[in-house]
Amino acid sequence: MSETSSIGIVAPQIAHFTEPLPLKSGEVLPQYDLVYETYGTLNADKSNAVMICHALSGHHHVAGKYAETDKHAGWWDNMIGPGKPLDTNRFFVIGLNNLGGCHGSTGPSSIHPETGKPWGSAFPVLTVEDWVTSQARLADYLGIHQLAAIVGGSLGGMQALQWTISYPERVRHALVIAAAPNLTAQNIAFNEVARQAIITDPEFHGGDYYAHKVVPRRGLRIARMLGHITYLSDDAMGAKFGRKLREGEIKYSFDVEFEMESYLRYQGDKFAGEFDANTYLRMTRALDYFDPALAHGGDLSRALAPAQADFLVVSFTSDWRFSPARSREIVKALLDNELSVSYAEVTAAHGHDAFLMQDAHYHAILRNYLKKIKLGGQA
Amino acid sequence: MSNSSIKFVDAAKSRHDFALIAKWIKPGAKVLDLGCGDGTLLGYLRDTLQVRGYGVEKDDANWLASMSNGVDVIQMDLEAGLSGFEAKSFDVVILSQTLQAVLNTEGIVQEMLRVGHEAIVTFPNFGYWRHRFQLIAGQMPVSKNLPYQWYDTPNVHLCTIKDFDEFCIQHRIEVMERMVLTDQQPIHMMPNLRGSLAMYHLKPAE
């Protein structure tokens, strides 16, 4: 086995698109930017490209660091790099920030070209289908007709699935991880509480808070705290925090006393300081709306009838937000269409977040699957 | 022939029962292999008969081996049934030397015949004379096909050929073909006494 190491220093790039993007909502995005990063080298016949779709709060900085002194590497650095499961010695990996995001791609906090002010509430509501269309345009821009693989976890897994429906001939393999064919009512409910926390924050100003030079921090913070509870399992939380007290004794106050509270507040504060509330609203809405079976009378098998890709579907036993049962629905639809599919149910304690964790068996699954992907001419 | 083909054909050489299973399967058939282990049987059937199909495997290491061997494999517990598979969506469903380790034996055989047009079931014959002799000598049988001690065996539903024949009659299952082997050789006379491995080709009775 080759040495594993980080991809090293990386830099984001921006692609500008002037062709208007018609959206599922009926609105049209006249022009837009997509910020992206690439790792590895595109081979001669351009057959080794892998695109990474990000989840709710993800972005284009998937692997590597911007500077040696960076405290953290990209969000999936444990998976992607030289000798890692998604081996950049073999594959040309593309990470991007989705439209509506707040990390450099056109989104609600971007400047509207006509008004010279941030889009704010005027920024359209996007869907997974819209994202996939824009991702395909990014592939065009990079001169790539067909992806060796589309890869995503959670909301990213939904995009990977949508790719196989929207562009069946443009994707050879789809790695759909910790995903679902649509959200359950309970999941929509969590999203709605998160959105209400943001929308009812006095500093939200109907989504046009930029002009007031404020951000709905409190709402965003609560939204993130709620999210974090649901991404972990009860067992994982119990193992990590239990009923541990920060200062070893009860204080009869409403300050931070339990370690659990300290963790949630830290995560909430960190997120509220760096994420855009309007983006959060739109990302959760895209989750809510995703339902490829809807146009086929609820029949997911019919929805996936156009798909031609080979699939790897992975779920995690303790994931109660995107449970194994939901992944099995996807698998059943793929089996009904007699597509090539392998399905792994990984025993993991970390809940939904397990898809980002470094687990030997999980990584072996991706490593061995990706190894089997045949590539054409080398660079 | 690819490396993987050579590998599967080689691996199957030591498994005479695989070649016999292959005789009951039509080229190009759609096959589901329950408890597929490392995928050798499916890989062999794919490379020799161009069958299409999937394996089902619960164990992590076996699942990984199957997938790495290029076999499509679904990780699930057979005890939960085959609800993820449509009725009559496979030509043949195989349960190779796993029947004796299944808790819900009736359920899984019925599920096999729901999902498949035909089924192939193989199991170690508990009525084999060596097993009977060991019992008469006062000990639980241990043999090539039953390599476990009583305290560590995964086998919970051992049966004889006579038992399984009765099971098929009671459950309205037609035995299309039956093969009995000992040391890879077919046994025709007194198979329930002389046979160590039983192989059945089944379909629902008309």
Chain B residue at shortest CA distance from A364: B64
Contacts of A302 in chain B (CB under 8 A): none
B12 Cα to chain A: minimum distance (Å): 22
Give the pLDDT confidence score for residue A379 in this predicted structure: 42
Give the pLDDT confidence score for residue A2 in this predicted structure: 46
* pLDDT (tens digit per residue) in A231-262: 999 999 999 999 999 999 999 999 999 999 99
Q: Which of residues 83-112 of A touch B (CB under 8 A)?
A: none
User: Per the structure block, which two tokens stand in for A105?
Assistant: 């791609």
Rounded average pLDDT over A127-147: 98
A156 Cα to chain B: minimum distance (Å): 22
pLDDT higher than 50, residue A378: no
Q: CB B89 to CB A369 under 8 A?
A: no
Cα separation, A368 vs A365, in Å, equals 5
B190 Cα to chain A: minimum distance (Å): 42
Q: In 3D, which of B164, B157, B175 has the Cα closest to residue B119?
A: B175
Chain A residue at shortest CA distance from B31: A338
pLDDT higher than 50, residue A316: yes
Contacts of A370 in chain B (CB under 8 A): none
Give the pLDDT confidence score for residue A3 in this predicted structure: 57
Size of interface A-B (CB pairs under 8 A): 47
B126 touches chain A (CB under 8 A): no
Q: CB A344 to CB B75 under 8 A?
A: yes
Give the pLDDT confidence score for residue B6 in this predicted structure: 62
Burial class (CB in 10 A: 0-12, 13-18, 19+), A63: buried
Chain A residue at shortest CA distance from B74: A343
Distance of CA B44 to the CA centre of its chain: 15
Please give the model's pTM, rounded to 2 decimal places: 0.95
B75 touches chain A (CB under 8 A): yes
Helix/strand/coil for B190: coil
Percent of chain A with pLDDT over 70: 98
Give the pLDDT confidence score for residue B1 in this predicted structure: 40
Rounded average pLDDT over A50-63: 97
Burial class (CB in 10 A: 0-12, 13-18, 19+), B107: middle
Cα separation, A355 vs A348, in Å, equals 9
Q: Which of A176, A299, A315, A343 to mutate to test the interface with B (most CBs of B within 10 A)?
A: A343
A368 Cα to chain B: minimum distance (Å): 6
| Confidence band, pLDDT 50/70/90 cuts, at residue B3 | low
- Is A319 among the residues known to form the active site? yes
Rounded average pLDDT over A171-198: 98
Q: Which residues contact A61 (CB under 8 A, 6 or more apart)?
A: A10, A12, A37, A74, A75, A95, A103
Angle between helices B3-13 and B40-49 (to 10 degrees): 110
Q: CB B85 to CB A335 under 8 A?
A: yes
Q: In 3D, which of B104, B146, B100, B140 has the Cα closest to residue B123?
A: B100
| Confidence band, pLDDT 50/70/90 cuts, at residue B10 | confident
Q: Catalytic residue among A87, A319, A353, A359, which?
A: A319
Rounded average pLDDT over B69-96: 96
Give the pLDDT confidence score for residue B145 in this predicted structure: 86
Cα separation, A361 vs A354, in Å, equals 12
B142 touches chain A (CB under 8 A): no
Task: Measure CB to CB from residue B84 to each of A331, A365, A372 and give the nearest one.
Answer: A331
A340 touches chain B (CB under 8 A): yes
Rounded average pLDDT over A18-25: 98
